[in-house]
Chain A
Amino acid sequence: NAGVTQTPKFRILKIGQSMTLQCTQDMNHNYMYWYRQDPGMGLKLIYYSVGAGITDKGEVPNGYNVSRSTTEDFPLRLELAAPSQTSVYFCASGKGLVSYNEQFFGPGTRLTVL
């Protein structure tokens, strides 16, 4: 049971490039989330999903897109990378359908945009 896995661990992008951050969970969780963490700041929610085919914006969605075609996978797409997207990205999942459920986090992807 690997939990939540993220790839890649590190990536350097040039301005204007695009990439997809992968996130997979093997716990059959309904809810999945993408957060970003900037230095000295807390985690901020980018997008979330409550099930396959259902996604919605979080607090900071601009410049990102997501999809949820399966329960397991929740990729995050950056279309035109900008220096402001330099951050550590965390994917998380939760069982959902219960009150106040625990979130399980991936190890993170450190992205630098130059």
Chain B
Amino acid sequence: AQRVTQPEKLLSVFKGAPVELKCNYSYSGSPELFWYVQYSRQRLQLLLRHISRESIKGFTADLNKGETSFHLKKPFAQEEDSAMYYCALDPGGTSYGKLTFGQGTILTVHP
């Protein structure tokens, strides 16, 4: 069975500082990885996915198959980045899009 681990429950940085939210996974196949975000008083929404190779709101994430990691990075954090971030894994194939989520990391960006 697959597993997703986000080692930091809380992460605090100052505005303008770089930020990295860690995500490690265990799965024997080739999964797709996602980052979902929940801003205050908003619903959970997709931030980015590996397959799209895109940068959203200045965030990027690189899939490292050797280290089985999918860390989320942003070079200059903004106060509006404060939110709960979830890393999620989709095994693909006939999994019907079922996601396995990490425990989540609360990011706080201080002014």
Pairing of A with B: yes
| Residues B43 and A106 in contact, CB atoms below 8 Å apart | yes
- 1/0 per residue, CB under 8 A from A, across B71-111: the answer is 00000000000000010001010001111111110000000
**Given A43-B86, A99-B32, does the pair A33, B43 have CB atoms closer than 8 Å?**
no
Q: Decide if A21 is an interface residue (CB 8 Å cutoff).
A: no
Interface-centre pick from B43, B45, B102 (highest chain A CB count, 10 A)? B43
> B34 — which chain A residues lie within 8 A by C-beta?
100, 102
The interface size bin for chain A is 20 to 34
Q: Which of B86, B92, B102, B104 contacts A100 (CB 8 A)?
A: B92
| Residues A100 and B99 in contact, CB atoms below 8 Å apart | no
Interface-centre pick from A31, A50, A92, A103 (highest chain B CB count, 10 A)? A103
Q: Which of A43, A50, A107, A108 contacts B96 (CB 8 A)?
A: A50
Closest Cβ–Cβ distance, residue B106 to chain A (whole Å):
10
**Given A99-B32, A108-B43, does the pair A48, B98 have CB atoms closer than 8 Å?**
yes
Q: Decide if B9 is an interface residue (CB 8 Å cutoff).
A: yes
13 residue pairs bridging A and B, Cβ less than 8 Å apart: A41-B103, A42-B103, A43-B99, A44-B101, A48-B96, A92-B44, A96-B96, A100-B92, A102-B49, A103-B97, A103-B99, A105-B45, A108-B43
Further pairs besides A90-B44, A96-B96, A99-B32: 10, Cβ < 8 Å: A4-B43, A35-B101, A42-B6, A42-B102, A43-B101, A45-B99, A45-B100, A100-B34, A100-B51, A103-B46
Interface positions of B (Cβ within 8 A of A): 4, 6, 9, 32, 34, 43-46, 49, 51, 86, 90, 92, 96-104
